[in-house]
Structure 1
Amino acid sequence: MQSLTLSTQLIQQVVDLARRAGAAIMEIYNQADVGTVYKEDNSPLTQADLVSHRLIVGELTKLTPDLPVLSEESRSKPYEERRTWSRFWLVDPIDGTKEFIKRNGEFTVNIALIEDGEPVAGVVHAPAVQTTYWSARGLGAFKQTAAAAAQPIRAAVPASAPMLVVASRSHSGAETEAFLAKLRELGDIDVISIGSSLKLCLVAEGAAHLYPRYGPTMEWDTAAAHSVVVEAGGTVTNLKGETLQYNKADLLNPYFAVLGDLPPELRAQIVERL
């Protein structure tokens, strides 16, 4: 792949690929049995995960044969090999497999382009609700639904009460509750529960002020939506305020916070309580 000045066409091709993967996923989603098994870490894996993985990896390899592809379902690639990658695709064939199994529609296809440890482009497609988010560095962030053409999005939320906080549908805990209690010192809050990387996308489109994550996630869970958030004017950082890095040895994210494009005083008050 050449420089990112040529990435508009590339990203549209990746958007189309994510939608094709979404269509394949929905064929299985609508079946009585989605073929669930469990991996060594006891996380679920469905036939749809594998179908999406094979389609995306195969097509990305054709599209950019010079770029490696790392998918959740092919993460056995050793770090000694990966550490030499300056640019590669990072894929989650289905982010929110638990939501897929629950059939609540809150799952996504995530495809990110990583360059020197940072996500520089991303596509997040939610096939059950026919909604796609995408971004590329310097080109902005966009959202498209079945009912409307693509529109640019901004992570700008008025500093008004109540504060809107996104929380995980399937993963929460005492640390999150403790943070929410400290956040209530600033005034009323409303908590929005949703699955998968849609949590980051809500911040990116200005539908929520922030998303705190006190719990384990992997790099493929966040990379694509991370790009969307940043191009929309928000931030994705660890609890020390440092931008999340990608292609680490263990591929594990630290606890992190996603903040919209907030007034400086409000941002400082939130960060103080993380």
Structure 2
Amino acid sequence: MNELLRSVEGIAVTAGNAIMEIYKSGDFGVDHKSDDSPLTKADLAAHEVIVAGLKTLTPDVPVLSEESAEIPFDERKAWKKYWLVDPLDGTKEFIKQNGEFTVNIALIENGKSVLSVVYVPVQEISYSAAVGVGVFKRVDGKKHSISVMKNSRFKPTIVGSRSHVSDEMKAYLDRVGQHEIVSMGSSLKFCLVAEGKADLYPRLGLTSEWDTAAAQCIVEQAGGHVVTLDGEPLLYNTKDSLLNPHFMVYGDTSKKWAEI
């Protein structure tokens, strides 16, 4: 598992390099999908790098990427193990050039994320995790373990989306009471919780399974939780739709975040 994790991290870095070439060029080639979400040259370039890398690494394991999401559930439901990929998570942040975008690669087994890498191309930082191996953050070539904040701050730090702020989220934050809010793009919100820099990430808006799978493994292996509003772990490939229910990401289980 350790060797596999290192190989996946290498694939994510290679995809990140492809993204950065386009990022620095300024020629993004922005298009829009049927749901009006943006699509750039960088999304497609990273997709090609990752799919090719994973097919070489594990030729018998199928790959579901945001850019190949048309695979029907009738085919997917037979998958016990597969790769779930968001080649460029935070395309809006990429277009804004604020650096808050990531490469997300997760290995799913029986509906659970068991190995993953979240790579931040602009900062050249990677988060990696695997069941039975642990969770790590690599900065400047140096790797160290991370963990969630088990005892929330008196005035909790709550991280939220920079590009998607729902009315439900605003109402929820009012009910929480005193807090510090940090706005962040992409799966970096999960990573802030995983390394103890934030206490809570409530997601009361739409996300897709490729948005969350890699970062969920990072959080869980750091001792945190990613659960639906019913308190159940977020699971993958259990239904026709690839949309997630609303969920909460946190470390401190003594706080009844969902009940608020």
Task: Give the TM-score taking structure 1 as reference length.
Answer: 0.92
Q: Is 2:223 aligned against 1:223?
A: no
Q: State which of 40, 49, 64 in structure 2 corresponds to 1:46.
A: 40
Structure 1: which amino acid aligns with 2:79? Answer: W
4+ residue runs over 3 A deviation:
none
Residue deviations 1:104-137, cap 9 Å, x none? 0000000000000010111000101111101001
Q: Does structure 2 retain, via aligned residues, the 8 Å contact 1:157–1:207? A: no
| CA distance in structure 1 between the partners assigned to 2:100 and 2:26 by the alignment | 18
| CA distance in structure 2 between the partners assigned to 1:64 and 1:263 by the alignment | 37
| CA distance in structure 2 between the partners assigned to 1:159 and 1:141 by the alignment | 20
Q: State which of 131, 148, 156 in structure 1 corresponds to 2:149.
A: 156
Q: State which of 24, 35, 60 in structure 2 corresponds to 1:30.
A: 24
CA RMSD, Structure 1 to Structure 2 (Å): 1.0
| CA distance in structure 1 between the partners assigned to 2:102 and 2:152 by the alignment | 29
Structure 2: which amino acid aligns with 1:134? Answer: S
Q: Does structure 2 retain, via aligned residues, the 8 Å contact 1:110–1:124? A: yes
Q: Is 2:246 aligned against 1:255?
A: yes
List gaps (5 residues or longer) in structure 2. Answer: none
Structure 1: which amino acid aligns with 2:84? Answer: L
Residues paired across the two proteins, number:
259
List gaps (5 residues or longer) in structure 1. Answer: 1-6
- Residue of structure 1 equivalent to 2:258: 271
Where do 1:75-224 residues align within 5 Å?
Answer: 75-146=69-140, 149-184=142-177, 188-224=178-214
- Residue of structure 2 equivalent to 1:59: 53
- Residue of structure 2 equivalent to 1:236: 226
| CA distance in structure 2 between the partners assigned to 1:93 and 1:107 by the alignment | 10
Q: Is 2:71 aligned against 1:70?
A: no
Q: Does structure 1 retain, via aligned residues, the 8 Å contact 2:153–2:199? A: no
| CA distance in structure 2 between the partners assigned to 1:198 and 1:161 by the alignment | 23
Stretch deviating more after TM superposition (13-22 or 245-254): 245-254
Q: Does structure 2 retain, via aligned residues, the 8 Å contact 1:157–1:208? A: no
Deviation (angstroms), 1:157: 4.8
SS in structure 1 opposite 2:42?
A: helix
Deviation (angstroms), 1:174: 1.1
CA gap of 1:249–1:263, structure 2 versus 1, over 3 A, is: closer
Stretch deviating more after TM superposition (133-142 or 217-226): 133-142
